[in-house]
Structures are given as structure tokens and as C-alpha cells.
Structure 1
Amino acid sequence: MRDPDFDRYRASREHQRRAHRLIPGGAHTYARGDDQMPEWMPVVIERGDGAHVWDVDGNRYIEYGQGLRAVTLGHAEPRVTEAAREWLDRGAGFSRPASVELEAAETFLDLIGADCVKFCKDGSSATTAAVKLARSATGRDVVAVCSDQPFISQDDWFIGTTPLDAGIPQSVKDLTVQFPYGDVSALEGVLDEHRPACVVMEAVRDASDPTDYVLDCIAACRSRGVVFVLDEMITGFRWSARGAQGLYGLDPDLSTFGKAVGNGHSVSALAGRRELMELGGFDTDRDRVFLLSATHGAETHSLAAAIAAMRISDLEDAPAQMMRQGARLRAGVERAVCDAGLEGVVGTAGRDSNLVFYTRGPDGDASQDYRTLFLQELTRRGVLAPSFVITTAHTDAVVDETVQAVAGALEVYGRALEAGSVEGLLLGRPVQPVFRKRAGTVWTSVTRPGGDGAALALPRPKSAHPS
């Protein structure tokens, strides 16, 4: 029997086929890869507005995890868009600094409270610049990172700690050491044994209050002359308008921001104490650090968008709005799970403004097969949800519609659990972890599920069962 929704994604699959011939992985961000979505519904976005996106086939979705957590005010927020447009009409970049650069720095520092800031385009650049400053200031080479943090930078010093370490010299890998989150004594052991230049970590790994732990980490670093770098890529402008450091009263030596700084526009930031930051400037007698310098590092329209987004976040308390709507979503999902009799099998985790969900199989363990089935059934019902990360644009009505979709997806999920397998319900291969050693895919002709024998060219794991 042919699946009635299969043809809804025809244009997206054609885009996918062409993209894989020209773009390694088919996308410019691994988290947006086709291996992160159900196989026959890759979903290529055409436009977004608020909490919704439309794909190239014309399907509308409620979207969560907007822009990989980069959007907090909803897609194409009019005031942010207008601020960017005004500078686009005046010019995107010049051979000298633009006036918007100082305005952006003043706006950012007034919120965060650091001494200096340097803007760039992506989080990896900001965090790697922090590492470079720390190495210069301390004369040490080793970097310590939290082993519970899944991603800090695409650069060698961090990616060498993941399974995706091909092309990175062992000598570079050896310069990064790890410690577990939540155990100060374990960090102290790493500090004493390796004497690193810096510690790089997020403040939060779950929904609990991390204040005492992170303060102890900062104190352990300060007593040993180690630079403490706070990664605010996710927490910045989502935990509070002043980041996790403002919410929990932290005083990092350096901090790095990205994602939500510009509500999806490409802006990231390195901020910190003057005595460290000035090593990348002119006011120093020491050897200068080539810190951050990029042709497009201070695009006028992106900085203007960031100014508008930061001011809106502060004046309207966007993080509090996201907490409120996330709590509504969490409660609704919990009701739907309870009604389906799936407590402990499907559920939410994390801070209400930054919710993720878990999916377990019949054995009670986390399951990629069942996660894919859940994603498939949510997508079928008009909800695009790699996570349940919310924005201020997710109104009560949007959240309630999401809960209805979750209830429908759980009905299918329950049938799969009763059968002990997703076979016959999941169409195609399961989603895959981004950080895996081998791609495990080949280009092959795949017959459409339940269809008329027409072939599609899709990337497919060698071990996947036929659809």
C-alpha cells in the first residue's frame, strides 16, 4: 500500500539528490544533514515566519530548535529585519570601520558586563580566539574541556576529541584534555596534572542550578593561573538577556556568544577582561595576538540585527517568555504521554526555554529507531522538531497544536512498542548521530515506500532495512 504522504516531499528529495552531488554531506552544517531526518521526508526550507516554516513543496510546519537554537524571537522578526534592511541599504561592508560597530559593542557590553568585545561570524571562531588568548597570556599549550559538552568548536583543538577526528594530527589531539561536568575534584586533578592554559565549558548541562559548581570551577582556575572561558553559545540570550553569567552571578575571564545574538543573523562574540582582550589590540607591550580579523567579521546588517535583537530581548524579557511557553509545552507533552501510557518512554528534559526530548525502545534504552519514528510522525503532522527548543513566537495556540501532533505521533509509537519493532511503521533508515566515526552511507536507487516501483537516488546506510 502506497503511503499517502510520500509525494508531499518530492521537491525536497529532488533538492537532496542534486545537493549531494555538489555539497559534501548535502548541507553546510552537519546538524542540518539528511541523516538527521527521516529518510523519505528530508524537508528543505523555503521560508520562515515566526514559529512556522514552509518547505519547497509548500508544506507548512511548526518549527522547534529554530536555526539550531539561533532564533529566540521567531523567524523574520519584523523589527530585527528592518534594522538589518536599513544598513543593507547603506552598505554591507567598507574598507574602514562602520559606526554600527561601536553601537553594537556598547549594546552588548551594557548587557553582559564584560570590559571588551570582539565580534565575528560563528561560534567556533570566537571560542578558538579565546583559546589563543589564554595560551598567549599563560604561555601554556594544553586546553581542558568538559567531556559532557557535545560541541564547542569545529576547529582541530576540539574536534580532535570527537569521533570525527580524521585529518587532525595526534600532536594537536594531545593538547586537549577532558574532565566530567559536576565534579570539581576531577577538574582540580586535571588542572594539577596538565597545567592547562584554559578551561572551556558551558555553565549548565541540565535544568539544575549550577551556581555553586561553576563558582568552584572558576575559583579552582584562578588559584592556578588558568583562564576560565564560559561558553554561552546556547545560554546567551536564552537563559537570560545577560546570559548564564548574568543569571547565576558568574565572573568568567572570557566568554563566547553566538547563535541567538542576532536572532539568526550571523554574529558571534568573544568578550572578557581587558587585560586578556587587549593582547589582540594595540594597547600592549607583549607580543600581539592575531585575534580575530575577517573581511565579513563586522557586516553592518548583521550587527544592526544583533542590536535590535539584544534590545528586544532585554526590554521584553524574551527569556522569561520562552520559559513560560516552554513550561506550557512540557506540561502538554507530559499529559499526552500519560494519556498514551508511555510514561518514562517518551518525555522532555532540560530547561523550559531549551527543551529536548528523549525516546526509548521496548528495552528501556535510548533508541535511534524510535526517535526516527517519532520525528517521522511529528513531521507528517506538521511539526518539525529535532528538539522542543522554543521561541517567543510559539504562542499558546502554536504550543497546543504541537501537543495535538505529539498525541498523534505517540499513538503510532505505542503500536511500535507493542509490536516490539518499528518495522512496517518506519519508512527508511533511522537517523544517525552527527559525531560518528564512519558515514555509513552509499548512493543507491531506493524504491519508494509502498509505491509503484519508481526509483529515488538517496544516501542510504548499508545496513538499513528496505523501506
Structure 2
Amino acid sequence: MGSGQELWKRAKSVIAGGNMLLSKRPEMFLPEFWPAYFSKAKGCRVWDLDNTEFIDMGFMSVGTNTLGYGHPEVDDAVRRTVDLGNMSTLNAPEEVALAERLIKMHPWSDMARFARTGGEANAIAIRIARAATGRDNVAICGYHGWHDWYLAANLGDSEKLAGHLLPGLNPNGVPHELAGSTIPFNYNDFDQLEQIVRTQNLAAIKMEVMRNHAPENNFLQRVRDLSRQFGVVLILDECTSGFRQEFGGLHKGFGIEPDMAVFGKALGNGYAATGVIGRRAIMEAAQNTFISSTFWTERIGSAAALATLDVMEREKSWEVITRTGEAVTRGWHAMAARHGISIKTSGLAALTSFAFEGPNGLAYKTLITQELLDKGYLAGTSFYASIAHTPDIIDDYFTALDSVFSLIAECENGRDVMGLLKGPVCHSGFKRLN
């Protein structure tokens, strides 16, 4: 057992849930063997507490670092900010520059509000939409965080959000009076959404532009038209999709202009910076309610975001990571075909993933993580691309993956996959830790 696993055992006794993000729990990757903690990170390489070097062919810190870890220009901007001072009684001028930059990038918008996490930004957007419309109910499609307004969808049925990224999200602690205030709908199911809009007196439709599958039958434009018809605020959650296929929001590529959009993850390239932009008539409702937090005014996030946008624009990072993700997706299909394995791929090119068809899918995912960890990779069945993932790194990754697919092919022909695993199968969603 390495230093990281030893520390994780200690963490579970002093931190409820072990850490602050479900997606970084070792049990989500390789229970009992995942290195758990890092000592440093640069480019697409991560060193654990024992100074073992890995190439991150997985989540790249759950999608925050499209420019790679520790990009020098972004880090330099942060160092300058630290030298000048991060907080004071006065405001940071960078937040004005960031607001103007995002609004210029999205001409349909007029105003912005900033936070430091995606869940906060989504909660801000919902509060503003409710204040602007005087209504309470919200229709949602996608993953939008942990706050009460979102988990209220699972009150009375803890599986309503199961298809929106994570199954098993228990709404314990969410007031039962919120039951029925958040209504999920399925992506591309316009009839279902239309029925909700006609009967639920909605304040907002909040949805991801796209996660696993592309819109069909002009779905996004029909949603836009429906929301206008009923005076419902359309909020597009771009926390995950923003700056990956377009310079700005993914909605730009589909020609859809929402009433509000939410950005996070990639905006600060690893530094905490999230925001909401929207139309003036809606955003000004923020002044009719109370939305305020001390550390939303810190300077590092805005400074990092401005530097990140500069590098993105110069390098056309969204084009680079899209090409990289497309190459990886093609490689998975080719390798699966060569080994006679059936897989399905999904997601944006720069947020691509694959799944095995059949009952052993989760065990195969665990096997991939186990075997590639031994070969020096942090990997599973998802890949979040960065500009640090050069073609030679991708080629070496597929060389390493080939032997694992060979093992999986043997399992498909009768070998017991459980006999190949050194520990338990990884978790697929929320589970209470022992």
C-alpha cells in the first residue's frame, strides 16, 4: 500500500466522505490501490506522494485543465496577483475585465455574476431566474451540482436524477417542502418537456447543451422557442462543455442564444473561477434578492481566467483538444474492433468516453484502470483532452491499452474477469464509505 492509500485511510476517519469531491474518491477508480493524492502536476503528468510519475489519460482534474496542469502563463498571472495582494477592502478590477470579456464573446448577453464553483454558479442562476419571473419551479436536464434546489428532484424518488450523471444521490437534508419544485426531463424528449412547461408554471428550463448525445430533430431550437412562448428563462449550463468545442459556450456552435449561461471548470485552468452571464432584464433581478459571498471577490480566480482566455484564444485550444479527442475515440473503436469487443462511445470529442456492452462493464473498467496504473497511466473509460496530450503521448497510451483489451477479449471468451482484479470493482455512483 502506497503513501496515498495510507493517507486516504486516515482521511476517511477525519473528513466526512473522505474528501470534498465524489469524482476524486479512489473508490471511483481502483478501490484499495488508487494513489489518491498528488505531490505535483505539470502538463498531463501527475506525481503521487511516493514521487511515482503518471500520465493523466483520464479526467484531468475532472475537466478543469484544458491547457494542461501548471500552464506557465496562467501560473505567472497568479503569482503576480499573489505578489500584489489577493484580497482587500476594495474590489478587484480583474472581475470587470472578465465580465466584459465574456459578454463580448457572447453578444446576446449583457451582464455577469461570478462565483468560485460550478454548483454555486448554477444556484445563482436559479435564484436570479426565480427572482426575475416570480415563479418557483424548474425543469432540468443534466448535472447541475449539489445544492438543495437540484437534489429536490430526488425527493420521493431517489432515482429521478440517476440518468443525469450520477445515480444514488440521496436527498437527505433537503427540505421536503421542495418536493416537486425541480422536475427532470430527458434530453431530446421534446414532448416530455412541453408537457412539463404547460403544466408546471416554470421559472426556468436549465439544461446542458449536450453531454453524451447530440441534439436530434432541432431539439435545442424547439426548446428555445418553447421557453420564449411561455416566458420561461432558458439557462444553459456550460460548466462542463464551455471552452471545449467553441471559444466560449458550446451553444454558439448550435446557433442558440439562451437567456443565461453558466461557466466553470475550464475557465480558470485549475484555478477557481466560475460565472453566470445573461440578458440585462433577467440579470438585474439579482439586485432584488440577496446573492453575496466574501470569497467571490478574491482576485486570483479572475486573473487566472483572463490569462486562460488569452492562451486559449492564441492557441485555439478548443480546436486542438477536439482533434485530440476525436483521435482517441477513433483509436478506441479501432482497438475494440481488432479484438472483437463491442463498445459504445459518447460525449463531446474533448470529453469522450466509452462503455462495454454487457454485464461485466464495470469490472472491465476497473481492470483497465488497474493494468494501466501499473504501466504509468491514470486512466479508465473516459478521456478529458488537454493541449498537453501530444500525439506521441496518445500513441504510447494505445500501445499500453492494447494488452488490456487483449485480456478483456479473453474474458469475453470465458476467462473470469474477477480473477484478474486485485481488489474490489470500482463504484459507479454515490455510495456511503465505510
Common fold: TM-score over 0.5: yes
State the partner residue of 2:94. Answer: 100
Compared with structure 1, are the counterparts of its residues 402 and 307 closer, same or farther at alpha carbon in structure 2 (3 Å cutoff)?
A: same
Q: Which residue identity lines up with residue 125 of structure 1 in the other structure?
A: E
CA contact (8 A) 2:369 2:379 kept: yes
- Equivalent residue for 1:69, pick from 44, 54, 63: 63
Is 1:55 the counterpart of 2:48? The answer is yes
Distance 1:57 1:173 in 2: 47
Could you say if the C-alpha distance between residues 211 and 272 of structure 1 is closer, same or farther in structure 2, counting changes exceeding 3 Å?
Answer: farther
Distance 1:239 1:164 in 2: 33
- Look up the SS of the partner of 1:237 in the other structure: coil
**Aligned-residue offset at 1:401:** 1.2
Match in the other structure for 2:224: 218
Distance 1:35 1:304 in 2: 34
Three-state SS of the structure 2 residue aligned to 1:98 is: coil
Corresponding residue of 1:388: 383
Q: Distance in 2 between matches of 1:197 and 1:143?
A: 6
SS of the equivalent of 1:198 reads: strand
1:38 paired residue number: 30
8 Å contact from structure 2 (residues 116, 301) kept in 1: no
Q: Given residue 325 of structure 1, which amino acid in structure 2 is its aligned partner? A: T
Q: Among residues 377, 389, 397, which one is paired with 1:402 in the alignment?
A: 397
| Equivalent residues of 2:368, 2:379 under 8 A apart | no
User: What does residue 164 of structure 2 align with?
Assistant: none
Q: Distance in 2 between matches of 1:256 and 1:69?
A: 15
- Whether the 8 Å contact between 2:202 and 2:232 is mirrored in structure 1 is yes
Q: For residues 222-250 of structure 1, what are the alpha-carbon distances to aligned partners after superposition, in whole Å with 9 as ceiling and x for unaligned?
A: 11011111000111111211211222221
Contact 1:382 1:405 in 2 (8 A): no
User: Distance in 2 between the 1:136 and 1:94 partners?
Assistant: 30
Q: Aligned residue for 1:329?
A: 328
* 1:313 counterpart SS class: helix
- Aligned partners of 1:258 and 1:67: how far apart in 2? 13
Match of 1:306 in 2: 305
Q: CA deviation at 1:366?
A: 6.2
Match of 2:417 in 1: 422
Match of 1:251, SS state, is: coil
Q: Hey, what does 1:173 align to over in structure 2?
A: 179
Could you tell me which amino acid in structure 2 is paired with residue 403 of structure 1? F
Q: Aligned equivalents of 2:323 and 2:84: distance in 1?
A: 38
The reply on whether 1:191 has 2:197 as its aligned counterpart is: yes
- CA RMSD across the alignment: 1.7
Aligned-pair identity in percent equals: 29
Q: Secondary structure at the match of 2:81?
A: helix
Deviation for aligned residue 1:45: 1.6
Q: Secondary structure at the match of 1:201?
A: strand
Match of 1:456 in 2: none
- Give the drift of 1:277: 0.9
In the TM superposition, what is the alpha-carbon distance from 1:394 to its structure 2 partner? 0.3
1:235 is aligned with what amino acid?
S
Note the C-alpha offset of 1:309: 0.7
Unaligned runs of 5+ in 1: 1-8, 282-287, 443-467
Q: CA deviation at 1:365?
A: 4.0
How far residue 29 of structure 1 moved from its aligned partner, in angstroms, is 0.5
- Tell me the distance in 2 between the aligned counterparts of 1:205 and 1:420: 34
How big is the shift at 1:210? 5.8
CA contact (8 A) 1:133 1:277 kept: yes
Q: Hey, what's the Cα distance between the residues in 2 that align with 1:75 and 1:211?
A: 39
Cα distance change of structure 1 residues 392 and 182 upon mapping to structure 2, 3 Å threshold: same
- State the secondary structure of the residue aligned to 2:211: coil
Once the two structures are TM-superposed, the CA of residue 405 in structure 1 deviates from its matched residue by 1.7
1:355 counterpart SS class: strand
**Partner residue, 2:281:** 275
Instruction: Judge conservation of contact 1:329–1:400 (CA < 8 Å) in 2.
Output: no
The one-letter code sitting in structure 2 at the alignment partner of 1:123 is G
List gaps (5 residues or longer) in structure 2: 155-160, 162-168
1: distance between equivalents of 2:194 and 2:344? 35
Q: Does 1:18 align with 2:10?
A: yes
Q: Partners of 2:325 and 2:117 in 1: how far apart?
A: 26
Q: Partner of 1:206: helix, strand, or coil?
A: coil
The 5 A counterparts of 1:440-455 are: 441-442=433-434
Give SS of 2:84's match.
coil
Deviations, residues 239-281 of structure 1 (Å, cap 9, x unaligned) = 2112112222211111111000001110100110011111223
Amino acid of the structure 2 residue aligned with 1:79: E
The answer on whether the counterparts of 1:416 and 1:425 sit within 8 Å (CA) in structure 2 is: no
Q: Does 1:290 align with 2:297?
A: no
Which amino acid in structure 1 is aligned with residue 45 of structure 2? H
Distance (whole Å) between structure 1 residues aligned to residue 105 and residue 133 of structure 2: 28
C-alpha separation in 2, matches of 1:416 and 1:351? 29
**Offset at 1:209?**
5.1
Output the amino acid matched with 2:2: R
- What do residues 316-363 of structure 1 show as CA deviations (whole Å, max 9, x unaligned)? 211110111112222222332233222x1x453222211112134xxx
Amino acid across the alignment from 1:243? G
CA contact (8 A) 1:79 1:308 kept: yes
1:434, distance to aligned residue in structure 2 (A) = 2.4
Q: Deviations over 1:79-116 (max 9, x none)?
A: 11111111111111111112222122222222233211
Q: Does structure 2 conserve the Cα–Cα contact (< 8 Å) formed by 1:34 and 1:42?
A: yes
2: distance between equivalents of 1:409 and 1:59?
21
Check if 1:228 corresponds to 2:234. Answer: yes
1:419 aligns to what SS in structure 2? coil
Q: Report the equivalent of 1:413.
A: 408
SS at match of 1:157: helix
Deviates more, 1:167-176 or 1:29-38: 167-176
Match of 1:158 among 134, 142, 150: 150
Contact 1:86 1:301 in 2 (8 A): no
Is the 1:156–1:173 Cα contact (8 Å) retained in structure 2?
A: no
SS, match of residue 46 in structure 2: strand
Aligned length: 416
Which stretch of the first structure deviates more once superposed, 369-378 or 415-424? 415-424
Partner of 1:234, secondary structure, is coil
- The structural deviation recorded for 1:40 is 2.8
Q: Which amino acid aligns with 1:290?
A: F
Which secondary structure does the structure 2 equivalent of 1:197 belong to?
Answer: strand
Counterpart Cα distance in 2 of 1:42 and 1:48:
16
